């Protein structure tokens, strides 16, 4: 009987995730059109911050533990960043080729790569101090300011607005108040759906004989990326590629700066050698570079071949984790 209940919990969580993602995407696109800003900027900020909330909560909870909290916090950042680009980006490209704007390739993606490399000098001494956490949050705040500033400048260029907003009569006629309501409701639903799905999957995994370590490395790691996955898939299916790309790139920037910085401010922590500039860190950087290179090679349209390569890279990473 318990197994049946948890199967229902898993299925219900997936349904809530899907419907909540539809609400979030509709609200985000509607807000972009009403406010006259790029939907990419909304994806980079509001949507990315909301879908990164599970990582923030998990990392702060990790550093509050007596032992090993730093590894949980930083490991969560690395694992989520890898999952976002390799697993989520790959699956979205397999479902529907993902178009990337030229300015995204030359502006936001280099920022994502730079932010990943910025983390190395902070980690190489195996310790994140409160001062370093403040610096990371200050960089995060500066980037948000620059994104908003760029959005305001682009809003004054009519030709750019038409290209980026993908006008839709249904979104255009919805009121600003309704769009604003859709966003937090969608984000809350994503959090609830992800929690239900993970709890159901963990119980089912234990019932069929999977170890807790395997479940932690697969189901739980995958669970924290469920909001990004479902939101990106829904956005891609509906043709809102900027929301998908903005969510992927923005979530990685937020994870690196906001998650690590917030955890360091809450409590300074130690990091193990594997994470302090070791193999896992460079795998995260390599996946980020691979994602950018594939976009360049594919002429800014991530197709199914690129998607398959990214998913295979993620599967290889999981195998590596299980063997090492």
Query: Residue 310 has what pLDDT?
Result: 96
Does the pLDDT at position 129 exceed 50? yes
**Greater model confidence, 26 or 160:** 26
Q: pLDDT tens for residues 64-97? A: 765 666 777 788 788 889 988 999 999 999 988 8
CATH code of 27's domain: 1.20.1420.30
109 contacts 290 by C-beta, under 8 angstroms? no
Q: Is the pTM of this model over 0.85?
A: no
Most confident of 14-18, 112-116, 149-153, 159-163: 112-116
Most confident of 15-24, 108-117, 258-267: 108-117
Eight-class DSSP state of 156: T
Q: CB neighbours (10 Å) of residue 209?
A: 7
Q: Is 268 exposed, middle or buried (0-12, 13-18, 19+ CB in 10 A)?
A: middle
Query: Residue 161 has what pLDDT?
Result: 43
Distance (Å, whole) CA 268 – CA 169 = 50
Query: Residue 151 has what pLDDT?
Result: 66
Distance (Å, whole) CA 29 – CA 166 = 9
Return the minimum-mean-pLDDT range out of 212-216, 276-280, 308-312: 212-216
Q: What share of the chain is helix, strand, coil (3-state, %, to 5)?
A: 80, 0, 15
Q: Where are the alpha helices (DSSP H) in 36-175?
A: 39-42, 48-51, 53-63, 69-82, 89-95, 102-103, 109-123, 130-154, 158-165, 169-173
Two tokens, residue 138: 């200050």
Query: Residue 85 has what pLDDT?
Result: 93
Q: What domain count does the chain have?
A: 1
Distance (Å, whole) CA 231 – CA 213 = 28
Q: pLDDT tens for residues 203-218? A: 877 787 766 555 655 6
Counting every residue written for the chain, the total comes to 324
189 contacts 50 by C-beta, under 8 angstroms? no
* Domain that includes residue 186, residue range: 2-323
Helix or strand or coil: residue 270? strand
Distance (Å, whole) CA 141 – CA 262 = 12
């Amino acid at each position: 009987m318990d197994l049946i209940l948890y199967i229902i919990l898993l299925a219900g969580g997936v349904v809530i995730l899907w419907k909540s993602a539809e609400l979030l995407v509709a609200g985000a696109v509607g807000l972009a059109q009403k406010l006259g800003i790029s939907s990419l900027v909304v994806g980079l900020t509001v949507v990315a911050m909301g879908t990164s909330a599970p990582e923030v909560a998990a990392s702060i909870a990790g550093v509050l533990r007596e032992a090993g909290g730093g590894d949980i916090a930083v490991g969560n950042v690395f694992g989520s960043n890898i999952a976002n680009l390799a697993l989520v980006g790959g699956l979205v490209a397999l479902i529907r080729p993902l178009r990337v704007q030229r300015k995204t390739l030359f502006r936001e993606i280099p920022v994502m790569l730079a932010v990943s490399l910025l983390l190395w000098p902070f980690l190489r001494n195996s310790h994140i101090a409160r001062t370093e956490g403040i610096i990371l949050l200050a960089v995060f705040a500066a980037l948000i300011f620059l994104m908003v500033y760029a959005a305001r400048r682009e809003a004054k260029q009519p030709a750019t607005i038409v290209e980026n907003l993908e006008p839709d009569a249904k979104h255009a006629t919805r009121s600003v108040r309704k769009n604003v309501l859709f966003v937090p409701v969608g984000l809350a639903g994503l959090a609830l759906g992800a929690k239900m799905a993970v709890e159901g999957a963990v119980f089912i995994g234990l019932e069929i004989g999977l170890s807790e370590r395997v479940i932690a490395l697969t189901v739980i790691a995958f669970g924290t990326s469920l909001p990004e996955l479902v939101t990106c898939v829904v956005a891609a299916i509906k043709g809102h590629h900027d929301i998908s790309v903005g969510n992927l790139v923005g979530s990685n920037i937020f994870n690196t700066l906001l998650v690590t910085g917030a955890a360091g401010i809450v409590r300074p922590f130690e990091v193990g050698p594997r994470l302090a500039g070791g193999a896992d860190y460079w795998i995260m950087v390599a996946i980020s570079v691979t994602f950018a290179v594939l976009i360049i090679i594919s002429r800014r349209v991530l197709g199914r071949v690129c998607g398959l390569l990214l998913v295979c890279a993620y599967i290889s990473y999981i195998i590596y984790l299980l063997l090492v």
